[in-house]
Amino acid sequence: MKLSLRGEYALRALLVLGTNYSEAVVRIQTISEQQKIPKRFLEQILNDLKSAQVVESKRGVAGGYRLSRPPEEITLAVIIRHLEGALAPVSCVSERFYEKCSCPDEARCAIRSVMKEVRDATVKIVERVTLAELCDRARKLQSEPASLLDYVI
């Protein structure tokens, strides 16, 4: 699995919506400014997440976006699969997006065996972590003092 810029921006936007879940809606301009995401690109991403029923929107002057359900019910796996497709590093080990590989003997391929372990580890993590946990982690990291960079010349 490789998270594209689109996927990263989506997670960052959902982080804003998750931390502001108690509010009626969050304006797209607010998300764009907080996360430094180009507004037009953000609109496309949020519309895509709306089609996946992860977010919902309210039109008008007081409009914006909000999560369609509590952040505790949205896993990273749901988001990433919708935006990026397979969680597997190669398609021959994907459970949902399987494609036959070019190996002469797929069943005995050592590379496929390792890639299956990578997929299993990735799936285990992203299916366990919810948007609520991501928001908690962000709050915790924001409360820690910024680490100073140590440059040696």
Alpha helical stretches, state H, 52-109: 76-84
- What tokens were used for 1? 């699995």
Q: Report the pLDDT value the prediction gives residue 148, as an integer from 0 to 100.
A: 63
Q: In this structure, is residue 143 part of a structural domain?
A: no
CB of 35 closer than 8 Å to CB of 8: no
Q: In this structure, is residue 104 part of a structural domain?
A: yes
Q: What global pTM score does this model have?
A: 0.85
**Nearest 5 degrees, angle CA 30-CA 34-CA 38?**
80
Q: In this structure, is residue 147 part of a structural domain?
A: no
Q: Give the CATH number of the domain where residue 129 resides.
A: 1.10.10.10
- What tokens were used for 31? 């998300």
Split the chain (153 residues) into runs of 10 and give each run's mean pLDDT: 92 97 94 96 96 94 94 96 89 84 86 91 96 95 75 69
Q: Report the pLDDT value the prediction gives residue 150, as an integer from 0 to 100.
A: 64
CB of 100 closer than 8 Å to CB of 93: no
Query: Whole domain around residue 100: which residue ranges?
Result: 5-134
Q: In this structure, is residue 116 part of a structural domain?
A: yes
Total structural domains in the chain? 1
Q: In this structure, is residue 142 part of a structural domain?
A: no
